[in-house]
Structure 1
């Protein structure tokens, strides 16, 4: 059998050297990029940046190098000149849709933002309303802003850092502003970029140590002294899915929890305030805790139940509690084992059965202010393999009730911390807020004194026409404060997710309107909004008035049985939208275009022809049938009708003759909200008060006509009887009538 012969020794050496030379001269294999190829990384790179490193650190960010990665080093071309990061991996601030706007941000080593680009959003108004490029243009304004600046949308921020907003998308741009700046501060702080930059500080508040009142667990919880963070396994899994984290490894901790299974219920509070600390710990233990605190130190109490431990076991191995931390302003407060005091139980009755309770001390070095809000950050980890673990954070806010502390007066020269975004928006719109509050006050007076107006139908006509014109022109087309079923779906979804009042407070006019509508639902029902405050409803009302009384168009009225069955359509639409929103809020917002509000009111009919045609058809239809859309298609009206069933009062008056046999009001009701048998359906009534004008009309309403005639007959009959008495010499009517005897 022949065998292969090896080349001679010199040949083998030459082949080996050739292979090594080829390996050295071959181009290096491309390194894995930290971001997908379609991310516009080049547009946010700091000046001089040429290459990116891998995502690293907490929060994760990719370092930007002056040269190629292999040239790293202070003396070479690989010097770090900045960082690039994705905001979804750093903070989670929901926008109008309830979901965050994901941004790609670049920042240099001085803490200055070098660029910000929108990666993904689910904002409905920017998908089917305002052009999307306006959000991209808004993001361009962050270039050049420092991480410690406090830019404000529409003005009022730090010098030279005011941002131009987007009309009609206030909440969205506010959320983007908060997202970019909060993420930039987190990354800058974790890389010690802003440690040396002076940040305005404020004197901490002083606890009122002489203020104490006995309070139960429920009372402390109800007043906000104790706060609660409740998470289910489904909510935790959803957060991991949003962070694109793989499914939990089957052998990981708590891997068998699903859906509504409880994950953790964490209660937390501030102990230095005597009313809180003494009621929770008891007098003696509270005093021991306070005696153990040095000046400027503070004690927090954490109480948890559920399968997930907020303490974990990291502090046993490394002396640091890695699952909880506190953030206030730009300060991050972490706890070590020496900051922890374990206790078994708390004093008051009625509290949940806690599996772990602990007192944690905030040291003086952090400059903690008990009078300012702070955030509790709960870190949750998931094992995705036997050796890999991923993390997400959950944030819960705490604000000590003002009765327990006294805020320190700030020197005039000392800059205060940044004002909350929603507060800035409210302060920027004092005139608009004042006008709206005045209008709602007037409307309240109209509702309260409706009987006086109903007796004066001509005055009511002009008052109503004038108010509807204000609703259409000012509330709708000028202030863009048209309420929508999207508001309802967003609110409901927020209740099951990351609820934050600040999100809803960012649009003051919409918030004020919703507050008024909520109160009016209890007092009067759905009709106050639908009949007086809905801009699109006002547009339909005027379209019908012009069509009926000026153009003399024929009016269409369905038989009541048909009309009554058509009511169900809007409730079906509402249920469909609600079901879709549970699966995808973004999809629900698209289908919510069944409302023509954005086209007709927010966008002033300046949209694609399909939207304009749809809205135009509905307006024209209302010229032939009063408020056709409101009657049968409006999901917002359906959403308001459901809670309106619990209204406290029945303000609309009816005669016993109404419906049996009188049908005047039922025939004249423009939305056919009066049943043939006479009662008014509060779910369909728009509170126009026309039926009340008829109710008091002594020349139109049969019972009132009869009452007037009896009243008018009374004086004439008495006068005639008196004449007869004088002529006859004895009473001529009533029980006093007697037959006098005839004289012989």
Structure 2
């Protein structure tokens, strides 16, 4: 029935997959795809051509020869027919792979070919083997049931058995083909059979000794066969790329765009820093860059760096594992590379001030709060210093979890709202969303509170910034004494009262760089201009920054 056929096909599909996995494990390699018949290939062939070209293989065993094979065993004289007619044929076997259409037409009648065609519509991966025996062996025993595996015929290829099953066809042979007992066996190519490779058909010669509980003796008769390559097509073997290389290939356009953007930013902050900081359109340009970082690097590229990565590196080092996992996200890895370069050139500022998508969101929240004229929270210098230590406490706590309770690290890493805000676009449980929104809302009245006070990744960046090889922000002798303008203007509290830059807290906003080079805002430059008798159009000065009066001449 159709139901029975469906169950059988499902069973064979499952077995095909299981056999494939077993072969791969036993051989230690992934098997190449089996050849499949080229049904478009056509060639005029006759039975004589099949024999001449080795496409029809023949095995002939006489009674005397089979007797000789059993000599020396208790079954040596168990076949009176063989002893009575030594020259008679025990096995006169022909073997042909009739799946290719050109070969099938030379060996089979059209009615049998039609049966194969219909069957192939249900089982397209089956290969059909024609067996013809004109001897007295008969290929199967008296108890054989059609549409099952033959009990006296089997096959092997490459040291592995081939699953054979009777196709249950009424076989009519083409004119000129030797007469005999004919049957067509089928095997599924998915089970590992490759019709273009050599295989061995094994026919068992069976004898019995005794009457009540006879002992069974067997001799295997082997016939080698291989069908010519021209009748088959071979699938191209596609070697899968390593996961890291596949990730690199899949994101090549994003990586090129990111590399160009990072190169331009590093160039602007390096070779052109002073001119860039003093540009009249610097603030709009900075906001545009932060918008690109939020949209392209954050939401699109998923390049928001996280404390999870350095913690994963630490855990891998403690467990002597492989760091290959870092290559699976080449986009984030490129952002990490830029951050590491920033350590050497500027400290933490390149990432925290320019490359962090969540930091950019907080800065946008700050500008929104100012536009709405919300009152701003400005902690005192003492409280600012205390609060900044919290991020190091958070970092030490996470490192401790890696060492002593690694199963809780992922949960504790949720101290970062990055995953909620950037990775999953606020599509999480309400408490995660509320936590992320809290920090953004707080950013409207407290400038970048999370970045400055609690971010464990910021603590890592600050520690990494110790690799900085220079003090890249120019200072004057008057900075800090008496001038306090840059300190007052620094929203990050990264300038000490003495005028010294605390690079571990510097986000590279370049406000102090712009003031330093501005003759209308830098107090020492304004005084120098007055002393030289040049007019200085000074900008508005904070109430706690006083310009000394020039002494009368």
TM-score, length basis structure 2: 0.56
Structure 2 residue 534 is matched with structure 1 residue 534: no
Residues 328-382 of structure 1, C-alpha deviations (whole Å, 9 max, x = no match) = xxxxxxxxxxxxxxxxxxxxxxxxxxxxxxxxxxxxxxxxxxxxxxxxxxxxxxx
Alignment of 1:587-736 (within 5 A): 587-713=408-534
Q: Which residue of 2 aligns with 1:443?
A: 265
| Greater gyration radius | 2
| 8 Å Cα contact 1:574/1:639 also seen in 2 | yes
Unpaired runs of 5+ residues, structure 2, are 1-6, 36-234, 536-553
SS in 2 for 1:645: helix
Query: C-alpha separation between the residues in 2 aligned to 1:190 and 1:656?
Result: 74
When residues 501 and 653 of structure 1 are mapped into structure 2, their CA distance, relative to the original with a 3 A threshold, is: same
Residue 109 of structure 1 contacts residue 193 of structure 1 at CA under 8 Å; is this kept in 2?
no
Of the structure 1 ranges 673-682 and 578-587, higher mean CA displacement relative to structure 2 is found in 578-587
Q: Distance in 1 between matches of 2:31 and 2:276?
A: 67
Q: Using the TM superposition, give the Cα deviation of residue 110 of structure 1 relative to its aligned residue in structure 2, in angstroms.
A: 3.1
Give the aligned partner of residue 380 of structure 2.
559
Q: Which has the higher helix share?
A: 2
1:189 and 2:24 are equivalent in the alignment: yes
Following the alignment from structure 1 to structure 2, what is the Cα–Cα distance between the partners of residues 602 and 509? 14
1:486 and 2:328 are equivalent in the alignment: no
SS at match of 1:673: coil
Change (3 A) 1:452 1:199: farther
Distance 1:685-1:447 versus aligned 2 partners, 3 A rule: same
**Which of 541, 553, 572 is equivalent to 2:393?**
572
Pairing 1:39-188 to 2, within 5 Å after superposition = 108-111=14-17, 188=23
> Residues of 1 paired with 2:482 and 2:303: CA distance?
43
Partners of 1:111 and 1:193 within 8 A in 2: no
C-alpha contact (below 8 Å) 2:473/2:513 kept by paired residues: yes
Q: Secondary structure at the match of 2:443?
A: helix
1:634 Cα offset (Å)? 0.2
Change (3 A) 1:194 1:689: closer
Residue 646 and residue 199 in structure 1: after superposition, are their counterparts in 2 closer, same or farther (change >3 A)?
farther
Count of residue pairs brought into register by the alignment:
330
Q: Give the Cα–Cα distance (whole angstroms) in 1 for the partners of residues 239 and 431 of structure 2.
A: 48
Q: By how many angstroms is 1:711 displaced?
A: 4.3
Q: Is the 8 A contact 2:297 2:304 kept in 1?
A: yes
Cα displacement string for residues 41-63 of structure 1 (whole angstroms, at most 9, x for unaligned residues):
xxxxxx889xxxxxxxxxxxxxx
Q: For the Cα contact (< 8 Å) 1:596–1:615, is it kept in 2?
A: yes
CA distance in 1, matches of 2:460, 2:29: 48
| Partner secondary structure for residue 506 of structure 2 | coil
- Superposition map of 1:228-267 within 5 A: none
Q: Whole-Å Cα distance in 1 between the matches of residues 334 and 268 of structure 2?
A: 18
- Could you tell me how far apart the structure 2 residues matched to 1:655 and 1:570 are? 31
Query: Which residue of 416, 425, 429 maps to 2:251?
Result: 429
5 Å-filtered alignment, 1:273-672, equals 415=237, 417-448=239-270, 449-456=272-279, 458-548=280-370, 550-672=371-493
TM-fit CA distance, 1:193: 9.6
Q: Tell me the distance in 1 between the aligned counterparts of 2:376 and 2:505.
A: 19
CA distance in 2, matches of 1:423, 1:512: 14
Tell me by how many angstroms 1:580 deviates. Answer: 0.5
Q: Check whether the contact 1:111–1:188 (CA below 8 A) recurs between aligned residues.
A: no
After superposition, the C-alpha distances for 1:214-240 in whole angstroms (9 at most, x for unaligned) are: xxxxxxxxxxxxxxxxxxxxxxxxxxx
Structure 1: which 4+ aligned runs deviate by more than 6 Å?
Answer: 193-196
User: Does the 8 Å CA contact 2:33/2:237 hold for their aligned counterparts?
Assistant: no
Closer, same or farther: CA 667–416 of 1 in aligned 2, 3 Å? same
Distance change >3 Å, CA 501–CA 658, structure 1 → 2: same
- The Cα offsets for residues 240-297 of structure 1, whole Å up to 9 and x where unpaired, read as xxxxxxxxxxxxxxxxxxxxxxxxxxxxxxxxxxxxxxxxxxxxxxxxxxxxxxxxxx
The one-character-per-residue Cα deviations of 1:450-500 (angstroms, maximum 9, x if unpaired) are 1111232x2321221110010111111121211000011011112223543
Instruction: Map Cα deviations across residues 390-429 of structure 1 (whole Å, 9 max, x no partner).
Output: xxxxxxxxxxxxxxxxxxxxxxx97463221111111111
Asked if the contact 1:673–1:684 (Cα under 8 Å) also holds between the matched residues in 2, the reply is: yes
5+ long unaligned stretches in structure 1: 1-46, 50-65, 67-80, 83-106, 114-145, 148-186, 201-412, 715-744
SS at match of 1:623: coil
Cα-Cα RMSD: 2.8
**Contact kept in structure 2, 1:536 and 1:600, CA below 8 Å:** yes
Aligned equivalent of 2:225: none
Compute the displacement of 1:658 (Å): 1.2
Q: Displacement of 1:198 after TM fit? A: 5.0
